[in-house]
């Protein structure tokens, strides 16, 4: 270990969302840790022990040694700084680096106030981005704002987040952590520091670009795999073949890997591919396969809405006067986040074709959700209302829906239709509702 680089004595995590909060809490069990967020309401609720994302229990927050603040000066003397801000895309599917830029500017400006004699800080980015972003975009911003030089006045690292929202099995402690640094020595220090909390171990990538690339292709691969099964489901629907039966038969071969077709939303899988295709386009490469998969997955709400109209007409129900209930508004199972939710996109597509569209999601607070100016009513438990629906769409397989789905016949109008987009129902069940359900 050089004189400039020492094992970190404290940690500061920038951004306290789905990724940053669990990370900060984990570090706080090993080292003095500060969690910083620019959102005062977020910090306030955490100080009160409440996590709006419902990923962390109140007792875990209130019993921790984590310091929470909106004061950026906490960065000035930090030894190990971790950036976990969101990296969305713009309307035209280009990387939106505005939050990375703001965080990097803030870090740079605070390093100007750093106390003399402290070890050189390590700044690790966890935000998903394209290969080269950490060193070619973030680093120069810190240099400009601080007057320091990367590799001398501060060191850069990258360790991609692998948070799977709503999944209690694959956690920070149980998943191998990929780590990297701008030099082998920095990488070793980053590995040591994350090793304090990543009980499954760390994997040291040879450089930062490799670590960045590894993260983005994890979600590219999943996006493409789901796109393949979505396209297969659309093909088999035209052939009047039950796709789940096909997949079950094919799964008897040892090297067939099955995926569940359905809606692909959120701020990871449908976003991250555009970071790689953007970088590829800058190098003159047209990412045909990746973009084709994105197109297939983005087309699913329209396909399902069109299919719903066809199913209702076959039952003698006029779509223009049909009442529709969508079960689930979140972007995935057992989360409270509706950002980039394709269930809401589906609601928009259905609203064009049908009389009324309502949404029930027991995890989402509020009386309505909005997309592109269109508002959709969020209702309380529909089993208590007595209202009958001509079309019920199970869009998100929340655990709370497991018992609920077995009572759907109580909500269904005569000749009404149930569509399952999640693989929850078992075709051929003796249950009257299940025997009539349309599934992907």
Give every CB contact of residue 7 below 8 A, 6+ residues apart in sequence.
Answer: 1, 189, 192, 193
Q: How does strand 155-158 pair with strand 177-181?
A: antiparallel
Exposure pattern of 346-366 as b/e (b: 16+ CB <10 Å)?
bbbbbbebbeebbbbbebbee
Between the alpha carbon of residue 87 and those of residues 24, 127, 233, 269, 291, the distances in Å are 19, 6, 31, 12, 19
State whether residue 279 is helix, strand or coil: helix
Between the alpha carbon of residue 122 and those of residues 7, 157, 160, 232, the distances in Å are 10, 7, 15, 47
Tokens standing for residue 387: 């209202």
Tokens standing for residue 79: 């030894």
Question: Sheet of 438-439: strands edge to edge?
Answer: 368-371, 374-378, 356-360, 323-327, 389-394, 412-420, 438-439
Q: How does strand 438-439 pair with strand 374-378?
A: unpaired
CA 200/CA 35 separation, integer angstroms? 24
Give every CB contact of residue 246 below 8 A, 6+ residues apart in sequence.
Answer: 232, 236
Give every CB contact of residue 140 below 8 A, 6+ residues apart in sequence.
Answer: 150
Between the alpha carbon of residue 247 and those of residues 149, 376, 399, 409, the distances in Å are 55, 35, 24, 28
State whether residue 336 is helix, strand or coil: coil
Q: What is the 3-state secondary structure (H, E, C) of 394-427?
A: ECCCCCCHHHHHHHHHHCEEEEEEEEECCCCCCC
Tokens standing for residue 307: 């299919």
**Kind and range of the H or E run holding 111:** helix 98-111
Tokens standing for residue 438: 């349309």
Spacing of C-alpha 99 from chain mean position: 16
268 annotated active-site: yes
State whether residue 428 is helix, strand or coil: coil
Q: Which residues are catalytic?
A: 268
């Amino acid at each position: 270990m050089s004189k400039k680089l020492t094992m970190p004595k404290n940690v500061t995590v920038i951004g306290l969302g789905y990724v940053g909060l669990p990370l900060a809490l984990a570090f706080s069990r090993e080292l003095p840790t500060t969690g910083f967020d620019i959102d005062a309401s977020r910090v306030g609720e955490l100080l009160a022990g409440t996590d709006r994302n419902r990923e962390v229990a109140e007792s875990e927050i209130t019993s921790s040694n984590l310091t929470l603040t909106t004061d950026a000066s906490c960065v000035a003397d930090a030894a190990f700084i971790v950036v976990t801000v969101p990296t969305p895309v713009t309307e035209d599917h280009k990387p939106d680096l505005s939050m990375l830029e703001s965080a990097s500017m803030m870090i740079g400006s605070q390093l100007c106030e750093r106390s003399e004699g402290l070890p050189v800080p390590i700044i690790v980015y966890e935000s998903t981005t394209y290969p080269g972003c950490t060193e070619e975009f973030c680093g120069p911003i810190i240099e400009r704002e601080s007057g320091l030089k990367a590799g001398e006045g501060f060191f850069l690292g990258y360790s991609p987040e692998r948070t799977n929202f709503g999944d209690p099995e694959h956690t920070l402690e149980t998943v191998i952590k990929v780590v990297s640094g701008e030099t082998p020595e920095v990488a070793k220090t980053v590995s040591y520091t994350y090793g304090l909390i990543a009980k499954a171990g760390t994997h040291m990538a040879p450089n930062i670009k490799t670590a960045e690339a590894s993260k983005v292709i994890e979600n590219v691969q999943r996006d493409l795999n789901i796109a393949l099964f979505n396209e297969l489901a659309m093909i088999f629907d035209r052939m009047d073949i039950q796709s789940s039966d096909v997949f079950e038969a094919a799964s008897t071969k040892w090297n067939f890997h099955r995926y569940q077709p359905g809606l692909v939303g959120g701020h990871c899988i449908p976003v991250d591919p555009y970071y790689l295709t953007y970088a590829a386009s800058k190098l003159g490469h047209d990412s045909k396969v990746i973009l084709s998969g994105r197109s297939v997955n983005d087309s699913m709400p329209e396909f399902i809405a069109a299919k719903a109209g066809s199913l209702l007409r076959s039952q003698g129900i006029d779509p223009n006067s049909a009442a529709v209930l969508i079960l689930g508004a979140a972007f995935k199972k057992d989360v409270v986040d509706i950002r980039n939710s394709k269930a809401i996109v589906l609601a928009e597509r259905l609203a064009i074709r049908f009389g009324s569209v309502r949404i029930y999601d027991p995890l989402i607070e509020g009386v309505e959700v909005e997309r592109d100016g269109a508002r959709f009513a969020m209702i309380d438990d529909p089993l208590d209302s007595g209202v009958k629906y001509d079309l019920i769409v199970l869009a998100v397989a929340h655990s709370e829906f497991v018992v609920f789905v077995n009572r759907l016949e109580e909500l269904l109008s005569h000749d009404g239709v149930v569509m399952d987009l999640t693989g929850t129902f078992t075709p051929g069940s003796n249950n009257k509702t299940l025997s009539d359900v349309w599934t992907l």
